[in-house]
A and B are shown apart, each in its own frame.
Chain A
Amino acid sequence: MTTTDPAPRVFIVEDESMLVMLLEDLLPTLGYDVAGSAGSVDQALAELAEAEIDLAVVDVNLAGTPSFPVADALRERGVPFLFTTGYGQQGLPDRFADAHVLAKPFRRQDIEVALTRLRSPV
């Protein structure tokens, strides 16, 4: 990224406020803007319809409910996203077999690398 590019806008889907706050602190230090956050599938779908976003970080489990409808909506809009989860890759349905997954808890450099990969599809 060059200094003339605007910072990419990241949407956070995470039910745990402490982790939202963590990402809100962390992402600006990595050169990203936080475009908003949602803690439930309904809230996320509602806000996604309006938000202008470039990337998304999506927790797989939102207070016991899978966030897959949100991931489907992101795909439909062509917004690259990565999953965060405590379960590991095996909890994902087949259609997300090639999705980027970040295991909780993640390090600063883990999410930095993951977001960079997300922006430069191989």
Chain B
Amino acid sequence: MAGGAHAPAEQRVRLYETLLQTTPDLVYMWDLQHRFTYANAALLAMWGMTWDEAIGKTCLEIGYEPWHAAMHDREIDQVIATRQPVRGDVPFNGTNGHRIYDYLLVPVIGPSGEVEAVAGTTRDVTERKRHEEARRKSEERLAAMVDATSDLVYRTNQDWSEVDIVGGSLLFGRHGSLTPDWLDVLIHPDDRDQVAEAITRARATQTPFSAEHRLRSEDGSWAWVSSRAVPIRPIGGDVTEWFGAATDITARRQHEEHQRLLLNELNHRVKNTLAIVQSLALQTLRGTDDMGLACDRFEARLHALAQAHDVLTRQQWEHAPLGDIVRTAVAPCLLADPERFDIDGPEMQLDPQRALALSMALHELFTNAMKYGALSARPGRVCIHWRAEAVQGRRTLVLSWQERDGPPVTAPAHRGFGSRLIERGLRHDLGGDVALDFNTTGVTCRITAPMPDPGVAA
């Protein structure tokens, strides 16, 4: 060191004094009676006092609130007694307004080894505390949001080799890290390539990841999720991690699948019905000379088909009550002249195919009866009776159509489409037996049809 024997000590005092008087931190010293023996410029300015006004006074005498002064009294005693530092933070209203201070009190050890004073430094940490508080609130809100959401919230490292479920949905039963083979274990085999590609693309372009895929849930079932993750990138740097959320869209997917199946089924039925209409048209028009008559017949058959559909639609296309099928087929005459019909039988349910076939057959019988048979002249009547019988242990429908008191019947020279539709159609569609007889006393038709097991009789 340069200078005389005293120079370094004096120089050091000047150095310390300069540092103490210019630091923005508060620097002070108490004697063993808790009286200030030193206060630097920053502290005096904060108090708004001069050296002479402040030195020699205790905290209470300076004007600290009693609780605050008492707290420091305790701390000073503690430092003296334990020879250990004390640290704390405390709000204070000084000339700078309401601030928060972080303070450190340390013992000053004298030459004899006794504590001779207590020194302190205090720093204004208001800004830091505010930031910390803001950050704590923000983190709390984020955590609450993650807990509140029904989405699965996840984070991944830069290359997606590590994935943590950080909150939200308990699709996997718990939160935590996934095993490194998560892609092979948790993603549906059919969706793996698509997910892997989406990850590669997102990483290459550093843009959000987005995919809809199936995920194995805790109970082993596949759940559909819509997953989206955004890259976290420090300013000017590369992506360090990704944060994402996966929404369970299983219900939506199931609904879409159901819609697709319904549409498919509808398409099938419409095409089938169009083919039936085609068959009706071709067979009604074929070999006919009377175009007007053929058109009337075609319309009537189309109408019968439509009415059978109505009966089925009322029961969601699951089944149709036999009584409704019968009454609908003969409705035009039944409504006007109910006494010309004797309709009787237990309530039974027919599946759609049987219902349609029987509707069309009854329509042909009815049309013939109106034109040539018992319903063409009074007092002709029609009895339609049916019952369920056990034939060779199988529940069987036996339905009879019997015309009475009508004009004498002559059997047609050749059987037309109507007869064919009744005999051939019912035999095929009901898998049973049909006996159509043009008796002189009246047309009879006896239909025997085994019912599917388990019996559909109501």
Q: Interface of A with B (CB < 8 Å)?
A: 15-22, 25, 37, 39-40, 43, 61, 63, 85-88, 91, 103-106
Task: Tell me the minimal C-beta distance from A3 to chain B in angstroms.
Answer: 25
Which of B267, B272, B425, B431 interacts with A21 by CB under 8 Å? B425
Q: In this assembly, does B270 line the interface, its C-beta being within 8 Å of a C-beta of chain A?
A: yes
Residues of A near B420 (CB, < 8 A) are 21
Task: Tell me whether A21 and B264 are in contact (CB under 8 A).
Answer: no
Q: In this assembly, does B268 line the interface, its C-beta being within 8 Å of a C-beta of chain A?
A: yes
Q: In this assembly, does B71 line the interface, its C-beta being within 8 Å of a C-beta of chain A?
A: no
Q: In this assembly, does B233 line the interface, its C-beta being within 8 Å of a C-beta of chain A?
A: no
Task: Tell me whether A16 and B276 are in contact (CB under 8 A).
Answer: yes
B394-435 interface with A by 8 A CB criterion? 420-421, 424-429, 431
Task: Tell me whether B276 and A18 are in contact (CB under 8 A).
Answer: yes
Residues of A near B439 (CB, < 8 A) are none
Task: Tell me the minimal C-beta distance from A34 to chain B in angstroms.
Answer: 12
Task: Tell me the minimal C-beta distance from A73 to chain B in angstroms.
Answer: 20
Known contacts: A17-B424, A17-B425. The answer to whether A86 contacts B268 by CB under 8 A is: yes
Which of B264, B272, B286, B428 interacts with A104 by CB under 8 Å? B272
Sample 19 A-B pairs with CB under 8 A, ordered by A number. Answer: A16-B272, A16-B276, A17-B357, A17-B426, A17-B427, A18-B279, A19-B279, A21-B279, A21-B283, A22-B278, A37-B428, A39-B428, A40-B431, A63-B353, A86-B270, A87-B267, A87-B268, A87-B271, A105-B278
Residues of A near B428 (CB, < 8 A) are 17, 20, 37, 39
Residues of A near B274 (CB, < 8 A) are 104-105
Residues of B near A85 (CB, < 8 A) are 268, 271
Task: Tell me the minimal C-beta distance from A80 to chain B in angstroms.
Answer: 22
Q: How far is the CA of A25 from the CA of B428 in the complex (A)?
A: 16
Q: In this assembly, does B87 line the interface, its C-beta being within 8 Å of a C-beta of chain A?
A: no
Q: How far is the CA of A15 from the CA of B430 in the complex (A)?
A: 10
Task: Tell me the minimal C-beta distance from A43 to chain B in angstroms.
Answer: 8
Kindly supply a per-residue 1/0 record for chain B positions 236-250, scoring 1 wherever the CB is within 8 Å of any chain A CB and 0 otherwise.
000000000000000
Residue among B264, B267, B275 with the highest chain A CB neighbour number at 10 A: B275
Residues of B near A16 (CB, < 8 A) are 272, 275-276, 353, 429
Task: Tell me whether B429 and A104 are in contact (CB under 8 A).
Answer: no
* Closest partner residue, chain A, to B353 (CB atom): A63
* Closest partner residue, chain A, to B360 (CB atom): A18
Task: Tell me the minimal C-beta distance from A6 to chain B in angstroms.
Answer: 25
Task: Tell me whether A86 and B269 are in contact (CB under 8 A).
Answer: yes
Known contacts: A18-B276, A22-B278, A39-B428. The answer to whether A103 contacts B283 by CB under 8 A is: no
Task: Tell me the minimal C-beta distance from B358 to chain A in angstroms.
Answer: 11
Residues of B near A88 (CB, < 8 A) are 267
Residues of A near B429 (CB, < 8 A) are 15-17, 39
Kindly supply a per-residue 1/0 record for chain B positions 254-275, scoring 1 wherever the CB is within 8 Å of any chain A CB and 0 otherwise.
0000000000100111111011
* Closest partner residue, chain B, to A38 (CB atom): B428
